[in-house]
Amino acid sequence: MTAPALARFKAEGRKIVTVTAYDYPFARLFDQVGVDVLLVGDSLGMVVQGQETPLPVTLDEMIYHARMVARAARRALVVMDLPFGAAQISPEQTMAAAVRAMQESGCGAVKLEGGAVMAETIAFLTARGIPVVAHVGLTPQSVRAFGGFKVQGRGAAASQRVLDDALAVAQAGASAIVLEGIPAALGARITAEAGCPTIGIGAGAQCDGQVLVMHDLLGLYDGVRPKFVKQYLNGGQLVSNAITQFADEVRSGAFPSAEHAFKGE
C-alpha cells in the first residue's frame, strides 16, 4: 500500500480498512489479515499511556511507536500522527517534524489535524514529497477548545465550516481525510465532493474507508467509549481470564508442570 493507492481505492469503490496500531505484535497481526492502513495515532496517549487526552504525547514518543509498527508492516501503509504542537507553528516546523517521522520511523505518510488553517502546511509538505493525511471534524487535539470530545458539524453553519475545511485540505493535496465525529449526512457529502478519499470514524457509512482505535475494537480500553465504537471482541475479559488462571496455577503449584521444566541435573 502507498499513499497514492488510497485514491485508486476510492476510484474503484474499494473501502479503505484502517486500524490504529502502536507496537510490533498487533501491527503484524493486522498487516497479515490485510488491513490497508495502520495508523499510529496519538490516541496512544489515552489507550496506551493511560492519559485523559492525546495532548501530552510527544514527537519522540510517536516516532518510537511508529518505528515498531513500520517494522511489522509488509503490505499496509503506515501513517503516523504528528502530535499536538508538531504541526501548528509553521509549514517549516511541520516539515522538520515530518522528515523526522519518515527518516526515523519508516512511516509512509504523516497525519495532521485541522482544516483550512492547515492548507498552506499540507501544500508545503506534499510539494516536497511528503504524503499527508488530513483530519477534520472532531479533532481531539482541540479537545480543550471544544470543551470536551463533542460531535462537530451539527447545524447549517457548523456543517458548512467542516465541509469548507475538508475541501481546503483536499485542494491542498491531502492523500486522504479522516472525518471524525460528524453527522453521517455530512460525511456522505464530503465524500461525494472532496475528490480525495475519506476515512471515517463516527462519520457514517458513506466514507471511502473506516478507522477504529484497536483497543476500542478489541475491548482492551475501559475509558470513554464513544457511540461510534463497535466492539468486536471482549479482549479485556479474555486477558483477565488467562492471567487469573496463571495466577491460580502459580499459587496452587500446578504451574509449571514437568512439561515446562528442564530435565537433568
Catalytic residues: 180
Residue nearest to Na ion (CB): 41
Q: List the beta bridge partners of residue 198.
A: 177
Q: Find which of ligand KIV, Na ion, none residue 219 binds, CB within 5 to 8 Å per kind.
A: none
Under the binding rule (CB under 5 A), the answer on residue 216 touching Na ion is no
Identified binder of ligand KIV from the candidate list 31, 36, 81, 208, rule CB under 6 A: 81
Strand, coil or helix: 24: helix
Please indicate if the annotation marks 42 as binding a ligand.
yes
| Assigned C-alpha cell, 185 | 449526512
Identified binder of ligand KIV from the candidate list 59, 125, 201, 220, rule CB under 6 A: 201
175 secondary structure, DSSP code: S
At its nearest, how many Å lie between Na ion and the CB of residue 128? 23
Identified binder of ligand KIV from the candidate list 3, 213, 217, 218, rule CB under 6 A: 213
Q: Which residues lie below 8 Å from residue 245, measured CB to CB, with a gap of 6+? A: none
Q: Find which of Na ion, ligand KIV, none residue 36 binds, CB within 5 to 8 Å per kind.
A: none
Nearer to Na ion, 37 or 241 (CB): 37
Give DSSP secondary structure letters for 103-159.
HHH--SEEEEEBSGGGHHHHHHHHHTT--EEEEEES-GGGHHHHTSS-----SHHHH
Nearer to ligand KIV, 168 or 179 (CB): 179
Query: Which of 76-84, 97-105, 202-210, 252-260 is the region at the interface with Na ion (rule: CB under 5 A)?
Result: 76-84
Under the binding rule (CB under 6 A), the answer on residue 203 touching ligand KIV is no
Place of cell 480498512: 17
Under the binding rule (CB under 6 A), the answer on residue 169 touching ligand KIV is no
Under the binding rule (CB under 6 A), the answer on residue 220 touching ligand KIV is no
Place of cell 500500500: 1
Cα separation, 104 vs 171, in Å, equals 29
Burial class (CB in 10 A: 0-12, 13-18, 19+), 23: middle
Query: Which of 4-12, 40-48, 119-127, 186-194 is the region at the interface with ligand KIV (rule: CB under 6 A)?
Result: 40-48
Q: Interaction with ligand KIV in 103-162: which residues (CB under 6 A)?
A: 135
Q: Find which of ligand KIV, Na ion, none residue 153 binds, CB within 5 to 8 Å per kind.
A: none
Torsion of CA 253, 256, 262, 263, to 10 degrees: 50
Under the binding rule (CB under 6 A), the answer on residue 42 touching ligand KIV is yes
Burial 203-236 (b: 16+ CB within 10 A, else e): bbebbbbbbbbbbbbbbbbeeeeeebbebeeebe
Cα separation, 26 vs 108, in Å, equals 18
Please indicate if the annotation marks 105 as binding a ligand.
no
Q: How many helices (H) and strands (E) does the chain have?
A: 11, 8
Q: Can you say which residues are annotated as belonging to the binding site for 3-methyl-2-oxobutanoate?
A: 42-43, 81, 111
> Which residues are at the interface with Na ion (CB under 5 A)?
41-42, 81
| Binding site listing for Mg(2+) | 42, 81, 113
